[in-house]
Amino acid sequence: MGAQYVMKVAVLIPCYNEELTIDKVVRDWRKALPEATVYVYDNNSRDNTALIAKKAGAIVRRETRQGKGNVIRSMFRDVDADIYVMIDGDDTYPASAARTLMQPILENEADMVIGDRLSNGSYSAENKRPLHDFGNRMVRSLINRLFDSNLRDIMTGYRIFNRRFAKTMPIKSEGFEIETEMTLHALDKNFRIVEIPIDYRDRPEGSVSKLNTFRDGIRVLKTVFRIFKDYRPLAFFTAVALIFFVLGLIVGIPVISEFISTHQIAKIPSAILAVGLMILATNSLTCGFILDTIVSQHRDEYELMLNQHAWQHPLFEEKERIHW
């Protein structure tokens, strides 16, 4: 028999100007998961984040493209592991919950585990930015309606992934909307999601959030809109077609009524506009059907790619000899 396969765990910490908290974060995670490798990706910090993280025992790398999405993309590409733990460097998420969150991954019950800040009320109690709480609720409602799901925390930064998810997710976002994109991707591709409540704590005094309520809120909504269009094209273009159809009726009904009464059409511009709106409605619906077929084929290809990726990993070849 060959050597036992030892699971590799990577703790991924994207950082931008976190010198006040990064030392504690790295040390907490090295203590909570001594078998894991802690990676800190410095995203053009103007302080001593990278130096402090290295002294605390983390492997420090640099990502020059600004934005959390760009950092996560590089992390998933560069780091080879079986379990990926993604947290922030601001000391808001408890390292003590790591093993609890990892359990569904280890037992093959989940592809992504979400650290849920909202269920126990800790986020609302600790967070000093009420508009962020409102934004979380609004985006959660939109996504749950769109994908017929029942997730509680869409935008948490505390997540754990298996290798299959991390290595096959196409990351398009550049900024803080990356968490929303991960959730949407998992829902659309039928990855298994498990949510576990955690205690959230606000940033310590002197640490400044990089989030901007309105700018990042608009980015998140744009991401939801793009995902709706890209992954639910039939529903999206049916909605667009319905709008054109209703407008066409509003403009066209007086023309039809006039023709029935007088057998003549005096409102030529209205008639042309009504016909144009109806053509747009028909075209939108046709586009929806065509794109829905393409998306369905893409999902089939993605499933085949996942299967191929799974069999290429040594974990599946030696799964009866895993040592943890």
**pLDDT per residue as tens, the chain (324 positions):** 455 667 899 999 999 999 999 999 999 999 999 999 999 999 999 999 999 999 999 999 999 999 999 999 999 999 999 999 999 999 999 999 999 999 999 999 999 999 998 887 766 555 655 556 666 777 788 888 888 899 998 888 999 999 999 999 888 888 778 888 899 889 988 899 999 999 988 766 655 565 555 666 676 677 778 778 887 899 899 999 999 999 999 999 988 888 888 888 888 889 999 999 999 999 999 999 999 999 888 877 777 777 766 555 554 444 444 444
pLDDT at res. 321: 40
Pairing outcome for strands 159-162 and 112-116: antiparallel
Is 178 within a domain? yes
Residue with tokens 């029942």: 150
d(CA 115, CA 150): 15
Provide φ and ψ at 159, rounded to 5°: -140, 150
pLDDT at res. 95: 94
The first and second tokens of residue 208, run together, are 């400044």
Residues 155, 302, single domain; the answer is no
Cβ(198)–Cβ(115) below 8 Å? yes
In sequence order, which residues have a C-beta less than 8 Å from that of residue 262 and are 6 or more positions away? none
Residues 100, 219, single domain; the answer is yes
Residues 20, 98, single domain; the answer is yes
200: amino acid identity, one letter: Y
Residues 162, 127, single domain; the answer is yes
Is 319 within a domain? no
Is 211 within a domain? yes
Cα dihedral across residues 37, 38, 43, 48: positive or negative: negative
pLDDT at res. 72: 94
Residues 96, 245, single domain; the answer is no
| Total domain count, the chain | 2
The first and second tokens of residue 45, run together, are 């910090």
Residues 115, 34, single domain; the answer is yes
Q: Domain containing 15 — which CATH number?
A: 3.90.550.10
Phi-psi group of 206: left, alpha or beta (phi > 0 → left; psi -120 to 50 → alpha; rest → beta) = left
Q: Residue 208 carries which DSSP code?
A: -
Mark 177-209 as b/e (b = at least 16 C-beta within 10 Å): bbbbbbbbbbbbbebebbbbbbbbbbbeeebee
Q: Which domain holds residue 127?
A: 5-231
Is 318 within a domain? no
pLDDT at res. 202: 76
In sequence order, which residues have a C-beta less than 8 Å from that of residue 115 and are 6 or more positions away? 93, 97, 101, 153, 156, 158, 159, 196, 198
Nearest to 95 by CA among 167, 158, 174: 158
